[in-house]
Amino acid sequence: MAQKNFIRQAAVLIETEGSWGCSVIRGIADYAQNHGHWHLLIDPRDHEQRSALPDLWSGDGIIARIGSRMQLDHIRERAVPTVNIDTLFEGLDGVYDVVTDDTQRAEMAFAHLRDRGFEHFAYFAPPSRHYSTKRGREFISVVNREGYECSEYRPGYRVGRKIGWEEQQRRVSGWLDSLPFPVAIFTVDAQRGRQLAEICHIRQIRVPDQVAILAGDTDELMCDVSAPPLSSVSVAGQRIGYEAMTLLDSLIQGEERSREPRKIPPEGVISRQSTDILAIDDETVVRALRFIRAHASQDIVVKDILREIPVSRRFLEIQFRNYLGRSPAEEIRRVRLEKGCELLARSTMSISEIATACGFANATRFGVAFRKRFGQTPLAYRKQTVQG
- Beta-bridge partner residues of 136: none
Residue type, 361: A
Residue 235 has what pLDDT?
93
What sign does the dihedral 9-13-17-20 (CA atoms) show? negative
Closest CA to 19 of 226, 246, 191: 191
- For residue 228, whether the previous peptide bond is cis, meaning omega lies within 30 degrees of 0, is yes
d(CA 67, CA 87) in angstroms, rounded, equals: 9
Closest CA to 112 of 269, 224, 217, 218: 269
* Confidence at 386, pLDDT banded by 50, 70, 90: low
Residue 148 has what pLDDT?
96
Of 82-86, 119-123, 224-228, where does mean pLDDT reach its minimum?
Answer: 224-228
Q: How far is CA 68 from CA 28, 140, 173, 357, in A?
A: 22, 25, 30, 46
- Tell me which fold the domain 7-99+237-267 belongs to: Rossmann fold (3.40.50)
User: pTM, whole model, 2 decimals?
Assistant: 0.81
Determine the average pLDDT of the residues in 153-158. Answer: 86
Residue 378 has what pLDDT?
93
DSSP string for residues in 258-305: --S-EEEPP-EEE--GGG-----S-HHHHHHHHHHHHHGGGT--HHHH
Three-state DSSP state, 214: strand
Domain ranges for the chain, please list them.
7-99+237-267, 102-234+269-275, 283-385
Domains 7-99+237-267 and 102-234+269-275 share a fold: yes
Residue 3 has what pLDDT?
45
pLDDT, tens digit, 9 for 90 and up, residues 162-215:
888 899 999 999 999 999 999 999 999 999 999 999 999 999 999 998 999 999
Determine the average pLDDT of the residues in 107-131. Answer: 93
CATH code linked to domain 102-234+269-275: 3.40.50.2300
CATH code linked to domain 283-385: 1.10.10.60
- Beta-bridge partner residues of 38: 8
Residue 268 has what pLDDT?
87
Determine the average pLDDT of the residues in 70-94. Answer: 92
Determine what percent of the chain is predicted with pLDDT higher than 70.
Answer: 98
Determine the average pLDDT of the residues in 268-281. Answer: 87
Residue 5 has what pLDDT?
55
Determine the average pLDDT of the residues in 20-46. Answer: 93
CB neighbour burial string for 125-154, b if at least 16 within 10 angstroms, e if fewer: bbeeeebbebbbebbbbbbeeeeeebbebe
198 CB-near residues (< 8 Å, 6+ apart): 226, 227
- Beta-bridge partner residues of 269: 233
Q: For the chain, what is the mean pLDDT?
A: 91
pLDDT, tens digit, 9 for 90 and up, residues 201-255:
999 999 998 999 999 999 988 999 998 999 999 999 999 999 999 999 999 999 9
pLDDT, tens digit, 9 for 90 and up, residues 341-358:
888 877 789 999 999 999
Residue 159 has what pLDDT?
77
Residue 4 has what pLDDT?
47
pLDDT at 387 over 50: no
H/E run at residue 61: strand 61-64
